[in-house]
Structure 1
Amino acid sequence: MPVPACKNIACEERILFALTEKIADGFLGHLPKFHAPSSNVEYIVPDKTEDWLATLRRIQPTILITGWHTPALPQEWIESPEFSLRYLCHLAGTVKHVCPRRVLERGVLVSNWGSTVNHTIAEHALLLVLGALRSTAQWNAWQPDTHNQQAIASSWHDAKTTLRTRSLRGRRVGLHGLGSIARETIKLLRPFNVTLSAFSDGVPAMEFQNCDVRQCASLEELFSTNEIIIECEALTPASRGSVTEKLLALLPDDAVFVNVGRGEVVDENALARLATQKTPDATAAGGGGGRRGRHRQEAGGDCVLPWMFFSKNHRSRIHR
């Protein structure tokens, strides 16, 4: 990114990129380093900056670009008369870890990626559901010797009875959460002629009606009446750990559990235990930017993908 020519309002601002090299490269495609002495734009790597408060006081940014690993704005700077920030541009999702509410109260404009990535998360939820139903991760173990016709026949017969691939069409699908990701997922599920229900504490009944989704009265009803559960509830003090081992045990045999929300909503230790009980079929977990939980365990042989899915029937594995 070249140093901007001072011919517009941007040059009246002091712009600070406070991003790790990995985040800058991932979001911007390169490192926006500025070397011109007269430049009003600076780039720092926050985890290599010994004194974050001193850096902010020195630069006095009016525009701050942040990411997942940017430290929280110091309260001392926020409350000081020298507080200069006018706009905080967060390149990722939740900005709570960087921006205390007091920043908003001081009139700072704050933005994040909002709903711009929701369709990609919904697509991944569908991918994981289909992958679990089709036992996709286990296919490689059943590739026959293409030079041996008898081996081919035997192998594919065994695969048919062991993999037990299934279709999504006509299934009962439940969603924990009814936010923008859930609504995008609902759109993708419609063509499969599924029966949809959902639960999200505090969401008005009208929202479920607008989505043409049956509202469950409780999480217990959601988990006990559906073959597939897609977890996409927001992480709040009330939802943290709300998907317990008791709830997961309510899933019927051959059920599928997919988590594209926050890992801390789910008791992942319980999920790992269930992966080795009741002959579970497919579990996988992954995450990015702290979005998912931190559990990591081997329990068999399936796949690793950057969100979580779980199917109760055959041997499986959880990865983080």
Structure 2
Amino acid sequence: MNKPRSIFLLKKPLCGTIYSESAMTEIARLTENDGKVYEGEDILANPEDFRDVEIIFSGWGSPVMDEKILEALPSLKGFFYGAGSVRYLVTDAFWERDILLTSAYTGNAVPVAEFTVASVIFSLKRAWSAREELLSGKRGPWSPPGVYSGSRVGIISLGAIGRLVCQRLSAFSLDVVAYDPFASDSVFEELSVRRAPSLESIFAECDVVSLHAPKLPETLNMITGELLEMMPQNATFVNTSRGAIVDEAAMIRVLEKRPDLFAVIDVITDESQYCTTPLLKMPNVFLTPHIAGSMGRECHRLGDMAVEECRRFIAGEKPVVPVTAQNIVRMA
């Protein structure tokens, strides 16, 4: 039986980051693959060379799958994306074709959730503030009231990452509440978390608030200065989602006005400004350069998921994480 032809389609330097040697070996076993990495320009320059391609393994740096590139791939049946959000690459032309699209976004959610849980625990132990006090010469004792056991943690959005965070926090003696107007009651029951009636209640009542909402037109600047101003004494705001969901200028003003508050920020609106943003030098901010997601060998989990989706596709089995025009908005 002839094996379907596949290609790698993403930025060339990223292929080895996502697809390990063992993944590439399995791809060669499942499909006819020449081991080369192609970019969109390669396909558009020589469309006749790709007319029999049935399967694409992709990831960060995939070209936008528009009418022009799809015309050069008339045999395409499966597109396996070894990364998170695919919103930027799909088009109406893609949805009009009967092409299976899968994403490894649930795999990318794992390290973000782990980073978040670590940030929550450090925040509740007031580790960040204790370090600042050490730097200022204070030797202790430290006895911040009402931290850790019994503290209330608020999760904004119950997508893949938010759900994982809730599941992992269940191992600790914490009161976890979540805000997601689109999640059903059964989701809250499954996660054993309480539904917060509003964003205002989350910020007003929680010792730590962690943001996991997707970046959409309706979520831009969703987290306002007024919300942050509502936070209790010594509370912490954590953002591993997207910088643009927060009114960054307002956040800076609130953090300057209220030095008791702390922010753990992994994402900013303009990520070219990590070294120049005022957040970097604020004593009540712990800033990292978008490292919560998959890095190093963690990325191989994403490639392995893409390979497994391909195996299931060839075997006639249902995909684990199919992406459709209906569910794409909820994917990270």
Q: Tell me whether the two structures share a fold, i.e. TM-score over 0.5.
A: yes
Letter in 2 for 1:273: R
Q: CA RMSD in A?
A: 3.4
Letter in 1 for 2:178: A
TM-superposed CA distance for 1:110, in Å, is: 1.2
Deviations, residues 224-263 of structure 1 (Å, cap 9, x unaligned)? 1211111112233322321111111111121111123233
Find the partner of 1:244 among 203, 216, 224: 224
Partner residue of 2:195? Answer: 215
Partner residue of 2:139? Answer: 158
TM-superposed CA distance for 1:72, in Å, is: 0.3
Change (3 A) 1:139 1:251: closer
Partner residue of 1:75? Answer: 67
Contact 2:47 2:72 in 1 (8 A): no
Give me the whole-angstrom Cα distance separating, in 2, the residues matched to 1:22 and 1:116. 21
Deviations, residues 179-210 of structure 1 (Å, cap 9, x unaligned)? 23222211222232212221112223333233
Deviations, residues 10-46 of structure 1 (Å, cap 9, x unaligned)? 3xx33221222442232124697xxxxxx75252353
Contact 2:55 2:78 in 1 (8 A): yes
Alignment of 1:51-200 (within 5 A): 53-60=44-51, 61-78=53-70, 80=71, 83-137=74-128, 158-161=139-142, 164=144, 167-200=147-180
User: Using CA pairs below 8 Å that are at least 6 residues apart, which structure has the higher relative contact order?
Assistant: 2
Partner residue of 1:147? Answer: none
1:299 partnered with 2:281: yes
1:17 partnered with 2:8: yes
Contact 1:134 1:166 in 2 (8 A): no
Mind listing any 5+ residue stretches in structure 1 that lack a counterpart? Answer: 1-7, 33-38, 145-154, 309-320
Change (3 A) 1:52 1:208: same
Deviations, residues 39-66 of structure 1 (Å, cap 9, x unaligned)? 75252353xx656533455323322222
Q: What is the DSSP-based 3-state SS (H/G/I as helix, E as strand, rest coil) of the residue aligned with 2:8?
A: strand
Q: What is the DSSP-based 3-state SS (H/G/I as helix, E as strand, rest coil) of the residue aligned with 2:149?
A: coil
Q: Which has the larger radius of gyration?
A: 1
Contact 1:286 1:292 in 2 (8 A): no
Mind listing any 5+ residue stretches in structure 2 that lack a counterpart? Answer: 25-31, 294-332
**Aligned pairs, how many?**
277
Give me the whole-angstrom Cα distance separating, in 2, the residues matched to 1:255 and 1:141. 16
More helix by share: 2
Contact 2:44 2:69 in 1 (8 A): yes
Length-normalised TM-score, structure 1: 0.73
